[in-house]
Amino acid sequence: MKWVFLLAVLALAPVLAGMLRSQPRYLVHTCFVLGVSLFVLAPRLWTAPIVWPVWPGPVKGIEVSFVDAISVALIASTRSVRIPTLIKIGFSIFCLAIVVSTFVSYQPMAAIFYAWQLVRTALLFIAIARVCVTEPRAPAALLAGLGIGLMYEAALVALQYLRGVARPSGNLDTANFLGLAADFAVFTALSLMLGSRRLLWPAATLAAGFVIALLGGSRATLGLFVIGVILTALLSVRHKPTSRKYAFAGALAMLMFASAPAMIWASSRRTEEVKASSDAERTAMKAAARMIIADHPLGVGANQYVVVANTGGYSARAGVAWNESNRAAPVHDTYYLITAEMGFLGLIGLLSILASFIAVGLGCMRRNIPDERGELVPGLLATMILVAIHINFEFIFMDFVLHYLFAITAGMLVAILAGARNRARTSASAHLRPATASAG
């Protein structure tokens, strides 16, 4: 059956590309479907021609998703866009780190699995940047799709909680996974609600994110949700102050104050003993990661932390508990994980990528972008900042679904910057032409 699905994915790309080239109006519909699918279908609807099902790393083969076919189709049916140099430099450093760590790794094939996942992420990033430049309505369609998908997840979480699941995770593997994924939809939807006349689905997206944070039981998710809402509102008001934004910001402050008892209840659902045990295990995992980094400054190879931590005795020496939830999981910190697997060069690459996109967001904040896309910038910037903080507590950022969500946010930022630059060049040319004609 997987080969049938793989053939279907391969056939989808040229068929969809041909349809989008002949009927560009369907670009908006494709973006909406893509946004919904990332929560509803993408976590489950994929295959792998080469698969290691019991491999303990987050990437278990040469995985292929229908999202990859959509990426190729969007690239083939849209015009090119200029990627800022800082982003290219950061990505090049990260790719070099993967190559270097693969040569010194214990299992090169497992590292190749992650390298392939990174290629898929880059394809989606380029596709989103191109389609959002080509079709001005694409960013709102993507966000609407992500919002619908997040509402679906919130409904699943509520149902699972009512059925007695202590930490419901919806359609994803863990509550922490879903909490980080929600960051990519909530803050940009809030920014759009503050700065435009759209209200219903952005407000519902925000409510869905609150339900997920409240019932998921993750202290990091709950705290960063509150910080993200505040940061998004502040950035939006700073970007372009309006009476509507001040009114909504005041209403949000009141809602946050009113929901304080619920948030206190959510943060205290786990006993102090459980919290202390969780903190101790995280500390032990970081100690193991530091040992690996000290012994392998070039990294042990992408996608190989768990194997090396156990077979090399690092987890045992650090005091990581001998149970599946701890020994079969990487260190709960993406920065430590990247450094252990891809060396200090990988850490520099990751920090460079994050810093370059935050710099793009700050650059867009300084520009006068007149249409609705300008109001997305505060939310996209807040998302990048909050994700950079959130992955300090989680390793699941290495999953392909979260890579996809990051690619969508990053692609929209680059598209908005490219559109602003195009408008500036067009405006400059329009001002120059009359002067040239008069001189003639």
Burial class (CB in 10 A: 0-12, 13-18, 19+), 154: buried
Q: How many domains does the chain have?
A: 1
Question: How many C-beta atoms surround the C-beta of residue 322 within 10 A?
Answer: 9
- Spatial separation of the C-alpha atoms in residues 263 and 435, rounded to whole Å: 62
DSSP secondary structure code for residue 397 in this structure: G
Kindly state whether residue 271 falls inside one of the protein's structural domains.
yes
Task: List, for residues 274-297, the tens digit of each pLDDT value.
Answer: 777 778 888 999 999 999 999 999
- Spatial separation of the C-alpha atoms in residues 194 and 323, rounded to whole Å: 46
CA–centroid distance for 367 within its chain: 24
Kindly state whether residue 386 falls inside one of the protein's structural domains.
yes
Angle in degrees, CA 369, 375, 376, rounded to 5: 110
pLDDT average per 10 residues of sequence, the chain (440 residues)? 86 93 94 95 87 90 94 94 94 96 92 96 97 93 96 95 90 91 95 90 94 88 92 92 88 86 80 77 92 94 94 91 82 95 96 96 86 90 96 92 96 92 69 51
Identity (one letter) of the amino acid at 259? S
CB 186 within 8 A of CB 131: no
- Token pair recorded at residue 109: 């094939």
Q: How far is CA 220 from CA 12, 149, 398, in A?
A: 39, 22, 18
Kindly state whether residue 439 falls inside one of the protein's structural domains.
no
pLDDT, residue 302, reads 94
Kindly state whether residue 235 falls inside one of the protein's structural domains.
yes
Query: Of 370, 326, 257, which Cα lies nearest the Cα of 56?
Result: 326
pLDDT, residue 323, reads 78
- Spatial separation of the C-alpha atoms in residues 65 and 45, rounded to whole Å: 7
The helix or strand, by DSSP H or E, that contains position 338, with its residue range, turns out to be helix 334-365
CB 20 within 8 A of CB 265: no
Task: Give the total residue count for the chain.
Answer: 440
- Token pair recorded at residue 126: 């380029």
pLDDT, residue 430, reads 60
- Spatial separation of the C-alpha atoms in residues 61 and 53, rounded to whole Å: 8
- Token pair recorded at residue 259: 């929901």
pLDDT, residue 428, reads 62
- Half-sphere exposure of 380 toward its Cβ, with a 13 Å CA cutoff? 32
Judging by DSSP bridges, how do beta strands 46-47 and 64-65 pair with one another? antiparallel
Range of the domain at 156: 2-278+300-422
pLDDT, residue 427, reads 65
pLDDT, residue 324, reads 73
Kindly state whether residue 285 falls inside one of the protein's structural domains.
no
Kindly state whether residue 140 falls inside one of the protein's structural domains.
yes
pLDDT, residue 307, reads 94
pLDDT, residue 353, reads 97
CB 306 within 8 A of CB 329: yes
CB 58 within 8 A of CB 399: yes
Kindly state whether residue 293 falls inside one of the protein's structural domains.
no
- Spatial separation of the C-alpha atoms in residues 323 and 40, rounded to whole Å: 31
Query: Which ranges in 219-271 belong to alpha helices (H)?
Result: 219-239, 243-258, 260-267
pLDDT, residue 440, reads 44
Kindly state whether residue 284 falls inside one of the protein's structural domains.
no
- Spatial separation of the C-alpha atoms in residues 437 and 440, rounded to whole Å: 5
pLDDT, residue 439, reads 46
Task: List, for residues 112-158, the tens digit of each pLDDT value.
Answer: 999 999 999 999 999 999 999 999 999 999 999 999 999 999 999 99
- Spatial separation of the C-alpha atoms in residues 227 and 407, rounded to whole Å: 22
Query: Of 84, 210, 113, 225, which Cα lies nearest the Cα of 154?
Result: 210
pLDDT, residue 437, reads 47
CB 390 within 8 A of CB 220: yes
